[in-house]
Amino acid sequence: MELKLNHVLESQQFKVPRIMELFERTQAMKKIVARGGTLDYQNKILASLFYAPSTRTRFSFESAMYRLGGKVLSTEHAREFSSEIKDENLEDTIRIIGNYCDAIVLRHHEAGGAARAARNSLVPIINAGDGTGGQHPTQALLDLYTIHNECQTIDGLSVAFIGALDNGRTARSLAYLLSKFDRVKLHFIAPDELQMKPDILEHLDENGISYELSNSTKGLASKVDVLYITRLDRERLISKHVDLEQYNVGASLLKKLRKDAVILHPLPRSVEISSEVDMDSRAAYFRQAQNGLYVRMALLTMLFDENN
């Protein structure tokens, strides 16, 4: 029997049937929004507790809550603004705010912040990113939903990750999720010093997922179904003497990609995608951002329905 969904903390917590249930709910949400409808969550309140700012992610959650008919409490920079005192602790804040809402979306600056919050919370916690090495599970879920929606399947797909993968929170979370599916093949394309970290690779080994590491897209473009691009920090790359051009997705790479490939990026982007890519029908990153709304609506309904 499936456990109740208490909190959304890390992508590993989701098993395949749960993911499929989420995707079905997501489809339903899409239809409701398309016809300008709303749902019956008028008396529910979502608190956005962002210790570090992220306008897009916050708006995505808050819009989802509004489309459900609910209400929103919001702080966009709690780390700076929470209180006059410096040593206020996250645990007390979460314990108190739980009295004022029905769920908390938390972005915290420390890895593990969401799990600490969950241990002290009266209401469900949704991790909207915790720390550089932490997780961002709803991003991974919307990434996966987009892959599923664009490719009609996940099993058997070949997915390439490109960029600074060592502290790419979104790439890490998505790799965990993909490891739950059958015959998936992963490619990690990054400069050696920015490659995917061993903890993820070990997890893939344990789950029998095949993967390849490389430091160039050479020979790869024609093989992948999904190209997942992550943010490049120009200054960090220059300091590591990495040739930025190598990891840029532009016209020359587009030519080599399959006709039915899907290009994803969690956004915001920096220098890693040339503007000509936006016009290509394979570029799915704006559809991906839009799916964030539906996936988050679906997740919120699951949390509210199962914790009533």
| Short-list 237, 292, 271, 239, CA closest to 62 | 292
95 near a second copy (CB under 8 A): yes
Instruction: Check binding of 21 to a second copy (CB under 8 A).
Output: no
136 is catalytic: yes
Q: In what order do the strands lie in the sheet with 158-162?
A: 210-214, 185-189, 158-162, 226-229, 262-264
Q: Beta strands 226-229 and 262-264: pairing type?
A: parallel
Which listed residue (86, 241, 255, 259) is catalytic?
Answer: 86
Cβ closer to a second copy: 132 or 216?
132
Q: Is 107 a catalytic residue?
A: yes
Supply the Cα-derived Rg of the chain in whole angstroms.
19
Q: Which is nearer to a second copy, 58 or 172 (CB)?
A: 58
The verdict on 219 binding a second copy (CB under 8 A) reads no
Residue 274 in contact with a second copy, rule: CB under 8 A: no
Residues in the chain: 308
Binding residue for a second copy, selected from 234, 251, 260, 305, defined by CB under 8 A: 234
Among 213, 233, 246, 250, binds a second copy (CB under 8 A): 233
Residue from 85, 206, 245, 281 binding a second copy (CB under 8 A) = 85
Query: Are 69 and 38 in contact, with CB atoms under 8 Å apart?
Result: yes
Q: E strands within the chain?
A: 45-50, 71-75, 103-108, 125-130, 158-162, 185-189, 210-214, 226-229, 262-264
Distance CA 92, CA 89 (A): 6
Task: Give the x/- contact pattern for a second copy in 38-67, rule: CB under 8 A.
Answer: x---xx-x-x-x--xxxxx-xxx-xx--xx
For residues 95 and 223, which CB has a smaller minimum distance to a second copy in the complex? 95
Three-class SS state of 292: helix
Asked, as a colleague might, if the bond just before 198 is cis with ω within 30 of 0, I would say no
Active site residue 217: no
Q: Which two tokens stand for residue 226?
A: 């999904």
Minimum separation from the CB atom of position 85 to a second copy (A): 6
Marked catalytic residue, from 107, 169, 180, 231 = 107
| Window contacting a second copy (CB under 8 A); options: 20-28, 85-93, 205-213, 241-249 | 85-93
State yes or no: residue 111 binds a second copy (CB under 8 A). no
Q: Does 96 participate in binding a second copy (rule CB under 8 A)?
A: yes
At 122, list the tokens.
């009266």
* 3-class DSSP assignment, residue 40: coil
**Alpha carbons 282 and 273: distance in angstroms, whole number:** 13
Residue 81 binds a second copy (CB under 8 A): yes
How far are the Cα atoms of 162, 247, 264 from residue 275, in angstroms, in the given order? 17, 15, 14
Give catalytic residues, as residue numbers: 56-57, 86, 107, 136
Binding site for a second copy (CB under 8 A): 36-38, 42-43, 45, 47, 49, 52-56, 58-60, 62-63, 66-67, 71, 73-78, 80-85, 87-89, 92-93, 95-97, 99-101, 231, 233-234, 267-271, 286, 289-290, 292-293
